[in-house]
Structures are given as structure tokens and as C-alpha cells.
Amino acid sequence: MLYYLAIGIYVIVCLTLILVVLLQQGKGGSMANAFGGGATQAAFGARSGATVLSRATTVCAVLFIIGALYIGVAGQRGGGGSSVVGGRAPAGSSAPATPAPAPAKPAPTQPAPTPAPAK
């Protein structure tokens, strides 16, 4: 149950991270800046304080990484149930996935005692 809750939260974090990254304003690093045309700005754009969107990006990125690690570990332990193809034999294999039971052997019979000769 906890595994599926983590998957749901992870999907929400992923969608939030996509939204937050797309809402951010570009830094203005065009081709003119690469060849010296933007000499008035610093090498990587103007330095500004951290905005709410940049902090939200950092938080979502950290949650994304932690969530990916948790889901990976929980999936290895079998937290999400078995795989759909986990129990199948390879495609080229003609052997069954489980060996067939051996046929029951008949109980060994002892030869019947021979009657004693009549006198």
C-alpha cells in the first residue's frame, strides 16, 4: 500500500517539477552573449535573488531524486507486487516453466513362494 502511495506522490512531484521549470523566465543567454555582445551582463546572466520558482525547482528536484531512489529500492524488494513477465520462460525455450512431476513407480512385487513338493 505504501508503495502505491509513493508512486502517486512521485507522479505529482514530477508534474509539479515540469510545471515549475516551464514557468521560469529564461536567463537571456542568447548567441550574442556567447560572442561578447552582452558585455554588460555577467558570464552566466544577471545575478538575482532566489525567487519562489527557483526554490520550488530545487525542492521538487530533491523530492524527485529521493522518490526515484525509494521506488527503485522498494521495487527490488517486491513492494509493488510481481512483474507481469517475471514468471515466464524465455521466448525460445521449449521447456515448461515448472518441471513435470515424475510418474509414480509401481511398488516392487516379491515373487510368489513356490509350493512345497507333495510327498
Per residue in 76-118, pLDDT (tens digit) is 887 655 555 655 556 665 655 566 677 777 767 777 777 777 7
| C-alpha cell at position 77 | 524488494
Q: Is the pLDDT of residue 25 over 70?
A: yes
**Rounded average pLDDT over 34-46:** 58
Looking at residue 105, its pLDDT comes to 74
pLDDT of 55 > 70? The answer is: yes
8 A C-beta contact, residue 6 and residue 46? no
Q: In the predicted model, what is the mean pLDDT of residues 50-79?
A: 89
Question: Which sign does the torsion angle of CA 37, 42, 45, 48 carry?
Answer: negative
Helix ranges (H only) for 26-101 are: 31-34, 52-76
User: 34-48, 59-73, 90-104: which range is least confident on average?
Assistant: 34-48
Instruction: Report the pLDDT value the prediction gives residue 67, as an integer from 0 to 100.
Output: 94
3-state helix vs strand vs coil in the chain, percent to 5: 45, 0, 55
Question: Exposed, middle or buried, 64 (CB in 10 Å: 0-12/13-18/19+)?
Answer: middle
Q: What is the pLDDT of residue 65?
A: 96
According to the model, what pLDDT value does residue 80 have? 59
**Rounded CA separation 78/3 (Å):** 10
**What is the band of 1 on the pLDDT scale with cuts at 50, 70, 90?**
confident
